[in-house]
Amino acid sequence: MPQVAARINTEQERWLKDYFRTKSAGAEFILPWAVDTFFRAISSIKAAFTAAELKTVVEAHKDMKLMPDHTRLSYLLLRIADACDVNNVHLRHGASRSSLESKLKSLDDTQATALMVWASAYWVSRNCSAESLDEYIRAY
């Protein structure tokens, strides 16, 4: 199995040891589960949005460093509103701002976080380009 060197804080390390006896045993269980759960969730979440809306969400996350404390629905709504107000990203992609905001408001914090992680990941991917954005939003 491929190795991954993840960084966790002391509280997370303690949690893994408490629940799985060892940090390694916990990481070997949690990481594959988290990846599988994320991709199932993002597939379901993306199905609620149009291609234009998803492009708007992705573009709104360009040059944004995602911080764990800022992964809530309120931050997603603020990020999208700012990108629409300042850069008109919704118009560039042909998305209805009111429809997008309505759909975003129906998400819970966990779904919003998944969408933010997915949108931010595009900008650090190897295939990040204007042409690959269409493929990215269709994937999964």
Domain boundaries, the chain: 10-45, 50-138
The pLDDT of residue 131 is 67
Distance CA 124, CA 63 (A): 9
Neighbours of 26 (CB within 10 A): 19
Is residue 15 predicted with pLDDT exceeding 70? Answer: yes
Q: How many whole angstroms separate alpha carbon 3 and alpha carbon 120?
A: 24
**The pLDDT of residue 1:** 67
Burial class of 57 by CB neighbour count within 10 A (0 to 12, 13 to 18, 19+): buried
| Interval 95-124 mean pLDDT | 95
Number of neighbouring beta carbons within 10 Å of residue 95: 22
Task: Please say if the pLDDT value at position 3 is more than 80.
Answer: no
Task: Output the furthest CA–CA distance in the chain (Å, rounded).
Answer: 52
pLDDT tens for each residue of 33-67: 999 999 999 999 999 999 999 999 999 999 888 88
Q: Please report the DSSP string for 66-83 in residue order.
A: --GGG-SHHHHHHHHHHH
Q: Tokens at residue 17, please?
A: 């040891």
Among left, alpha and beta (phi > 0; psi -120 to 50; other), residue 73 is alpha
From residue 115, alpha-carbon distances to 7, 19, 23, 27 in Å are 22, 28, 28, 23
Report whether 116 contacts 71 (CB < 8 A).
Answer: yes
Measured between alpha carbons, how far is 140 from 136 in angstroms, rounded to an integer? 9
- Which pLDDT band, with edges at 50, 70 and 90, does 95 fall under? very high
Higher pLDDT, 57 or 125: 57
